[in-house]
Structure 1
Amino acid sequence: MTTLSLVGAVGGAGTTRTTLESAAVLARTGRDVCVLDAAYATQGLADHVSGRLDTDVTALCTDADAGTPSLAAGLVDVETDDAGRLAVCPARAPFERLARAKTPEAAQRFGSLVETAADSFDHVLVDVPPVAANQAVAAVTTTDRVALVAPDTPRGHDGLARQRDRLADVGAPDPETVLTFTDGGDPEDVAGAIPEADTTDPREVPVSLTADDSFVAGVARTCETLFGASFDLDTDEPGVLDRIGR
């Protein structure tokens, strides 16, 4: 399985953070990973990119003469030392272009971006808001797998049911479930349970490239399940990622 959409079941679920940290875990194992931003309204992925962003994902999707989108123009590399490549393609655009990026034609180009990225990267992760716009539909119907991200609260669990119905309506794959802001338990019938992170400063994220705490362990276990990979983890001990095969 190469491509994955992580979809917020509700707003504030931590979907962007979960997507970026999952990508960092995969890159730490030596894989090349691309993160595409379908959360146009919040543009949260751009908060983790320093410096000028000349071409964002909405620009790639709204160029009427683009044909097959030139993904490379919108990619920003995150420093990973000697690990695999981690490249992100955020949304950062004025309202007028955001509106044009939500048209059916632009959504088709977004789907093409996912397919283009899959040809060049080991894994493609898409940060998707609750499904209510064309680019979100394109994401969840193009990727191999879908995971719903929800806070482990009554509001989050209620949102899961609504989004499962929406995903079925648009013909997306049956979703997995990832719970965030958990209390450290191990809920049944979910792909992952990720506790709250100690680090919240966007400038210090992703922490999964270097940190070794319970938050990173939760992200790593989630990645194992979602991607069907074994990282040879012993999650009951510190140093969880030191033993990941590269």
Structure 2
Amino acid sequence: MDGIEDAGPDRARDDPTTLAVVGAVGGAGATRLTIEIGTALAREGRDVAVLDAAYATQGLADHVSGRIDPDVTACVTEPRSLADGLVTLPLDAAGRVACLPAYAPFERVARAKTSGAAEELTSFAAEAAGRFDAVLLDTPPVAANQAVAAVTVADRVALVAPDSRRGADALPRAADRLRDLGVVPDCEVANAGVGGEGTVERAAVTVPASGATAPDDAPAYPGGGAFAAAVASVAASTLAVEPEPDGGGGLGSYVPGLSE
């Protein structure tokens, strides 16, 4: 992780627009939650960019249809632009969710984890913040340059753990690692869709399991209910919105920075 400087976002700002959704451990469900938050914002007419920093697992690619070329690792290691790689999700929403997923061979994934490539990811996030209403960074456990870049460039950070004994043990360790970087998690989330044991008592929000388990079934946010309410609550805790989810989606009133 040497070579990555703190990008220095003003984490006290009252109009945050960039959110890193970070897995406390692998398989915590951070990618799925990122998609759901993006969908919630798009249902309100907001244009959202989702940048993939989880190069190893490449889970965001499972939610994208069609050809992925270039992917995020090509964009950060070659002379490619942000626009070259963005793929829009097929959502029934007034806004859009444009994703820059990882879909690459091991050799390029390794090159994308260098400090120089991580700085390019930071640049892409800053560029996206100027072009979109919100930017979401799908972030793996913080153990590599691109994850450090994601959490330091973001205005806000949501830390996601499985709602299990494994998640309960991992969450404080992951929060301490973020604090080592000068980043305090803005929202700690227990994902009951992974585990469901009810053991992560320190989490501010518990996201219940939803019936949409396969990537093709997501997002589930427009279905309303407790799942949508929890997704909206994470958005409220990080991107300063007033959640009012209903059966048709919706987050209510936006603060300056995400409002018209």
TM-score under structure 1 length normalisation: 0.88
Task: Tell me the secondary structure at the aligned position of residue 148 of structure 2.
Answer: helix
Q: Give structure 1 stretches of 5+ with no counterpart.
A: none
1:163 aligns with 2:174: yes
In structure 1, what is the equivalent of residue 7 of structure 2? none
Between Structure 1 and Structure 2, how many residues are aligned? 236
In 2, Cα distance between equivalents of 1:111 and 1:241: 31
TM-score under structure 2 length normalisation: 0.84
1:120 aligns with 2:131: yes
Residue 189 of structure 1, CA deviation: 6.0
CA RMSD after TM alignment: 2.2
In structure 2, what is the equivalent of residue 239 of structure 1? 247
In structure 2, what is the equivalent of residue 13 of structure 1? 28
Task: Assess, with a 3 A threshold, how the Cα gap between structure 1 residues 61 and 96 changes in structure 2: closer, same or farther.
Answer: same
In 2, Cα distance between equivalents of 1:242 and 1:99: 39
Selected match of 1:150 from 144, 161, 166: 161
Selected match of 1:225 from 231, 237, 240: 237
Is the contact between residue 78 and residue 88 of structure 1 (CA under 8 Å) also seen in structure 2? yes
In structure 1, what is the equivalent of residue 216 of structure 2? 203
Task: Assess, with a 3 A threshold, how the Cα gap between structure 1 residues 184 and 109 changes in structure 2: closer, same or farther.
Answer: same
Is the contact between residue 140 and residue 173 of structure 1 (CA under 8 Å) also seen in structure 2? no
Residue 62 of structure 1, CA deviation: 0.4
Residue 141 of structure 1, CA deviation: 0.6
- Identity across matched positions, percent: 53
In 1, Cα distance between equivalents of 2:176 and 2:100: 28
* Structural mapping, 1:75-94, within 5 Å: 75-94=86-105
In structure 2, what is the equivalent of residue 4 of structure 1? 19
In structure 2, what is the equivalent of residue 108 of structure 1? 119
154-163 or 124-133: which moved more? Answer: 154-163
In structure 2, what is the equivalent of residue 57 of structure 1? 72
Task: Tell me the secondary structure at the aligned position of residue 223 of structure 2.
Answer: coil
Residue 121 of structure 1, CA deviation: 0.7
Task: Assess, with a 3 A threshold, how the Cα gap between structure 1 residues 25 and 82 changes in structure 2: closer, same or farther.
Answer: closer
Q: Deviations over 1:136-192 (max 9, x none)?
A: 00000111111110112221121111111211222234442011117698x876442
Q: Deviations over 1:32-64 (max 9, x none)?
A: 11111000110000011112111100011001x
Q: Give structure 2 stretches of 5+ with no counterpart.
A: 1-15, 255-260
